[in-house]
Amino acid sequence: MKILFMLLPVVYLAGNGYLFVRVWQAMSGVPVWVKVIVAVLFSLAAFSLFVALGLRDAQLPDILMKCLSSIGSVWMGFLLYMVLLLAVFDVAGFFIPVLKHSLRFAFPLTLCILCCGYINYRHPRVEHINISLDKTQEFSPVRIAAVSDVHLGYGTGVSALRKYVELINSLDPDLVLIAGDLIDNSVKPLGDEPFAEVLSEIKAPMGIYMVPGNHEYISGIDACAEFLEGTPVHMLRDSVVTLPGGIQIIGRDDLSNRGRKPLDQLLENADMNLPTIVLDHQPYDLAKTDSLGVDIQISGHTHHGQIWPLNWFTDYIFEQSHGYRKWSRSHIFVSSGLSLWGPPFRIGTHSDMALIEVK
C-alpha cells in the first residue's frame, strides 16, 4: 500500500511528461510564442492542485483557491483519460493508419467522457437497505441516513451541500450517521461561507453523529472539532453513545490516529443484547468486525476508486470496497461517497448514500 502511494507522484509526472511531448509534437510549425504560452498553461494545470493543497491554510482570496483547486482537479481526470486513449490509439494506429493522428481523436473523446462523468457525479444514488436484528432486548425501529465523504471545502461548496441536505431530509431519517471525511483539506473555507448554517438544516430527531476520517486529520483534527461545535453534528472519537430506544453507536477514531482503541475494547462499553452500529471511516479488518458480533458497520473512504480503472485497485485492496454486504453476523455498508475528492467525475462508479431501516 505504501509503495503504491509513493509511486503515484512518479506516475503522475510521467503521464504529464508523455502528454506534453505529444502536444509539443502536434505543434510542429507553430510560432515559438504560442508554444511558450501552451507550455505555461500546461504547467499551471498540471501543478495547480498541489499548489492549492500546499497553500490551503494561507490567507489567500477564496476565488484564487477555488480556481487552483478546480483546475487541478479537472486536470487529473483529463490527464488520465488522455494518456489512456492516446496509448490505445497509438497501438491501433499500426493497424488503422488514420488513427496515427491520435491527439485529434483522444481530445474530443476525453471531453465527452468527462462531461458524462460530471453529470453522473452530480446525481448520487440512494441505496435502500432493510435490516432485521434478532436481539434479546426490545429496541425501537430506526431510519438511518448513512453518509460518507462529503469533502466540504473548495471542491464541495455551499450550493452542493444544500442539495445534499435536501436529499437527506427528503428521506425523513430518524438518525444521520456520517462515516468521516465531512471536511476536505482545510477548515478555512468553511468559515468564509455559511457551511455551518446549512449543516444545521439537517432534520434528524435522534441526532447527527460522525467519526473523523483521514481528511479531518489533514485539515487539523482540533480545528475540525472546533468548527463542528457550531453545528448539530457530534463527532465521536473512540466513544460509545446509547440513544433513546436502545441503538448504540460505536464511533471509532480514524486510522490516522495510530493510538486509537481496538474495537473489542470499545465494545466492552456496549450492551451486545442491544443493536450495535460501528462507524469507522476506513473499511479495514471487516472480518474481525464480523467475528466480534457487531450488528452493523458503516464506512466510506474508498470512493470505489471514483473513476475507472481505479475502482479495480480499491476492489483489490479492500475486503469490501463499496455497497452493502451481509457477512456471517454483521451487516456492512461501505459508501462510495456522497461527494468526492479531486476530479469532479464519476466514471464507472456512483456517488451514493444509504437509507438503512433497522427493525
Domain end position, chosen among 61, 95, 121: 121
Whether 148 and 238 share a structural domain: yes
pLDDT digits (tens, 9 = 90+) for 212-268: 999 999 999 999 999 999 999 999 999 999 998 889 999 999 999 999 999 999 999
Domain end position, chosen among 121, 153, 169: 121
What pLDDT was estimated at residue 65? 79
**CATH number assigned to the domain comprising residue 286:** 3.60.21.10
Q: What is the mean pLDDT of the chain?
A: 90
User: Which cell numbers in the block locate residue 243?
Assistant: 440513544
What pLDDT was estimated at residue 252? 96
Please return the burial class of 167, using the count of CB atoms within 10 Å of its CB with bins 0-12, 13-18 and 19+. middle
Whether 110 and 87 share a structural domain: yes
pLDDT, average across residues 83-106: 80
Whether 129 and 90 share a structural domain: no
pLDDT digits (tens, 9 = 90+) for 188-213: 889 888 999 999 999 999 999 999 99
Whether 97 and 149 share a structural domain: no
What pLDDT was estimated at residue 113? 96
| Interatomic CA distance for residues 290 and 328, integer angstroms | 7
What pLDDT was estimated at residue 267? 94
Total domains, the chain: 2
What pLDDT was estimated at residue 155? 85
What pLDDT was estimated at residue 235? 97
Burial 99-123 (b: 16+ CB within 10 A, else e): beebeebbbeebeebbeebbebbee
Whether 227 and 260 share a structural domain: yes
Does residue 96 carry a pLDDT above 80?
no
| Interatomic CA distance for residues 194 and 189, integer angstroms | 10
C-alpha distances out from residue 93 to 17, 100, 106, 112, Å: 21, 4, 13, 21
Does residue 332 carry a pLDDT above 90?
yes
Which pLDDT band holds residue 23 (cuts at 50, 70, 90)?
confident
Does residue 7 carry a pLDDT above 70?
yes
Q: What pTM was estimated for this model as a whole? A: 0.90
Does residue 50 carry a pLDDT above 90?
no
Q: Higher model confidence: residue 87 or residue 113? A: 113
| Interatomic CA distance for residues 245 and 137, integer angstroms | 11
Range among 16-30, 67-81, 108-122 rated most confident: 108-122
pLDDT, average across residues 70-81: 90
What pLDDT was estimated at residue 47? 87
**Residue 339 DSSP SS3:** coil
Does residue 62 carry a pLDDT above 90?
no
In this structure, of 160-164, 243-247, 290-294, the range with the lowest mean pLDDT score is 243-247
In this structure, of 64-68, 74-78, 132-136, the range with the lowest mean pLDDT score is 64-68
What pLDDT was estimated at residue 320? 95
Whether 32 and 98 share a structural domain: yes
Whether 171 and 110 share a structural domain: no
Q: Which domain holds residue 132?
A: 125-358
pLDDT digits (tens, 9 = 90+) for 169-181: 999 999 999 999 9
What pLDDT was estimated at residue 1? 54
Interacting residues of 46 by C-beta distance below 8 A, sequence separation 6+: 16, 75, 79
Does residue 2 carry a pLDDT above 70?
no
Which pLDDT band holds residue 348 (cuts at 50, 70, 90)?
very high
In the block, which residue shows the cell 466492552?
A: 268
Whether 180 and 328 share a structural domain: yes
Whether 165 and 270 share a structural domain: yes
What pLDDT was estimated at residue 268? 92
Whether 192 and 280 share a structural domain: yes
User: Which cell numbers in the block locate residue 274?
Assistant: 442491544
Residue-by-residue DSSP string for 183-235: B-S-SHHHHHTTHHHHHTT---TT-EEE---HHHHHH-HHHHHHHHTTSSEEE
User: Residue 298, CB half-sphere, CA atoms under 13 Å: how many?
Assistant: 29
Whether 131 and 226 share a structural domain: yes
Which pLDDT band holds residue 49 (cuts at 50, 70, 90)?
confident
Domain end position, chosen among 86, 121, 156: 121
Does residue 77 carry a pLDDT above 70?
yes
Whether 289 and 332 share a structural domain: yes
